[in-house]
């Protein structure tokens, strides 16, 4: 499914003294099957933007069209089945006695026969890298990373065509973060769905996505391939962001080793580039 945003503006509490313009004249297009990152400082409008993608918020002006459904018109129920949003701290919404029941709760609206629901629950729990034994546990016995994965499994069970994750690793320790990111790439590849990842971490964005949208004070500041966006360190810094740390290291190294390509934004890419360079020098 594709997303088309045309001149979207959004004002919270319009017409009151608390009126707040959160999005201003945003236009963008996300094609079917893309894996896109959204970054931007706190309050830049990331969460407001993604809540327009399933019609939870409606444009104050402009249009948001998902496939051929205008989110200001009819067909919202249909739309919500296709667009799954994992909100920040989704584990706060786990409340059933067992993990199984929690995932089944979301599925209930779909009226699946018991047997099919069970298959689906097994499929999604494996898709997020957990063993099916966890299904009989209470959500409260799980680690932070496991809880987060169960919450994501609940959204996946709805078989969304577009999966949106708002800061899916917020508050997790490094191990929990790796656990969560480990399967997001898999889900994108295997299920062929559109994935949109909101994150504060430049390192995570660089590792996972190909395209990144940068928000700044409610406006769309940059939209391009990772290499394009992260090579413009000055512009990122001018809006209070930075490139991944490794980009700064590569930049300094380029002064010593002018032949290296300093457009490496992950540790793995930087290592490969340096090894290649050292081999060429040694030969
Ligand atoms: N329910 C609301 N009522 C009024 N103003 C709001 C509401 N939600 C957000 N805002 C304001 O709208 C602007 C955009 O907020 P938003 O939550 O979209 O930013 P964000 O980029 O997701 O921030 P963060 O990185 O902190 O999650 C901010 O100025 C925020 O204070
Ligand atoms: Mg937010």
pLDDT for the residue 85: 95
Atom of ligand 1 nearest to the CA of 45: 18
Whether residue 168 is found in the same domain as residue 266: no
Q: How many angstroms separate the CA atoms of 214 and 172, rounded?
A: 23
Q: What is the pLDDT, as a whole number, of residue 128?
A: 92
Q: How far is the CA of 250 from the centre of ligand 2 (A)?
A: 31
Report the atom number in ligand 1 closest to the C-alpha of 167. Answer: 27
Using the atom order of ligand 1, give the atom closest to the CA of residue 200.
25
Same domain, 139 and 262: no
| pLDDT tens digit sequence for 10-53 | 999 999 999 999 999 999 999 999 999 999 999 999 999 999 99
Distance CA 138, CA 140 (A): 5
Query: Does 88 reside within a domain?
Result: yes
Question: Are 224 and 272 found together in one domain?
Answer: no
pLDDT of residue 86: 93
Please indicate, yes or no, whether residues 145 and 277 belong to a single structural domain of this protein: no
Residue 192 is predicted with a pLDDT of 87
Q: Are residues 100 and 162 in the same domain?
A: yes
Mark whether 138 and 259 lie in a shared domain.
Answer: no
DSSP string spanning 68-119? TEETTSS-HHHHHHHEEEE-SSGGGG--SSSHHHHHHHHHGGGT--HHHHHH
**Looking at the domain assignment, is residue 282 inside a domain?**
yes
The atom number, within ligand 1, closest to the CA of 18 reads 4
CA of 271 to the centre of ligand 1 (A): 38
5 domain residue, yes or no: no
Angle 53-55-60 from CA coordinates, rounded to 5°:
95
Instruction: Give the single-character DSSP code of 272.
Output: H
Q: Do 175 and 113 belong together in one domain?
A: yes
Q: Which of 44, 58, 85 to mutate to test the pocket of ligand 1 (most atoms within 8 A of CB)?
A: 44
Q: Whose CA is nearest to atom 30 of ligand 1?
A: 43
Distance from Cα 11 to the centre of ligand 1, integer Å? 11
201 and 89 within one domain: yes
Biggest CA-to-CA distance, the chain: 70
For the stretch 76-113, pLDDT in tens is: 888 988 999 999 888 888 888 999 999 998 888 788 89
pLDDT of residue 283: 63
Residue 174: the pLDDT is 87
Quick one: 194 and 270 in the same domain? Answer: no
Task: Indicate if 192 and 122 belong to the same structural domain.
Answer: yes
Residue ranges, the chain, pLDDT below 50:
none
Residue bearing the CA closest to ligand 1, atom 4: 12
Residue span of the structural domain in which 277 resides:
244-283
pTM: 0.92
Q: Is 189 part of any domain?
A: yes
> Within this chain, do residues 213 and 257 fall inside the same structural domain, yes or no?
no
Check residue 275 and give its pLDDT.
93
Place of tokens 């298959």: 119
Is residue 3 assigned to a domain?
Answer: no
Burial label, 220 (beta-carbon count in 10 A; 0-12, 13-18, 19+): buried
* b/e burial code for range 160-198 (CB count within 10 A of at least 16 → b): bbbbbbbbbbeebeeebbebbbebbeebbeebebbbbbb
């Amino acid at each position: 499914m594709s997303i088309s945003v045309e001149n979207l503006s959004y004002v919270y509490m319009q017409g009151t003294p608390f009126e707040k313009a959160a999005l201003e004249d945003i236009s963008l297009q996300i094609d079917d099957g893309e894996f896109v990152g959204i970054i931007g400082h706190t309050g830049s409008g990331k969460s407001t933007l993604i809540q327009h993608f399933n019609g939870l918020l409606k444009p104050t002006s402009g249009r948001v069209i998902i496939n051929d459904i205008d989110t200001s018109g009819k067909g919202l129920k249909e739309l919500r089945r296709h667009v799954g949003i994992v909100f920040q701290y989704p584990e706060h919404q786990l409340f059933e006695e067992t993990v199984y029941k929690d995932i089944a709760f979301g599925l209930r609206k779909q009226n699946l026969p018991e047997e099919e629901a069970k298959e689906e629950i097994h499929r999604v729990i494996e898709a997020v890298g957990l063993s099916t034994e966890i299904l009989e546990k209470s959500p409260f016995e799980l680690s932070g990373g496991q809880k987060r994965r169960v919450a994501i499994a609940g959204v996946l069970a709805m078989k969304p065509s577009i999966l949106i994750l708002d800061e899916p690793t917020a508050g997790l320790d490094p191990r929990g973060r790796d656990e969560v990111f480990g399967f997001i790439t898999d889900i994108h590849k295997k299920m062929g769905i559109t994935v949109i990842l909101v994150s504060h971490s430049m390192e995570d964005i660089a590792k996972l996505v190909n395209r990144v949208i940068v928000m700044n004070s409610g406006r769309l500041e940059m939209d391009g391939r990772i290499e394009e966006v992260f090579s413009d360190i000055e512009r990122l810094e001018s809006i209070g962001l930075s490139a991944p740390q490794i980009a700064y290291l590569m930049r300094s190294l380029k002064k010593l080793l002018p032949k290296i390509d300093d457009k490496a934004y992950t540790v793995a890419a930087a290592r490969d580039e340096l090894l290649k360079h050292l081999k060429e020098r040694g030969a």
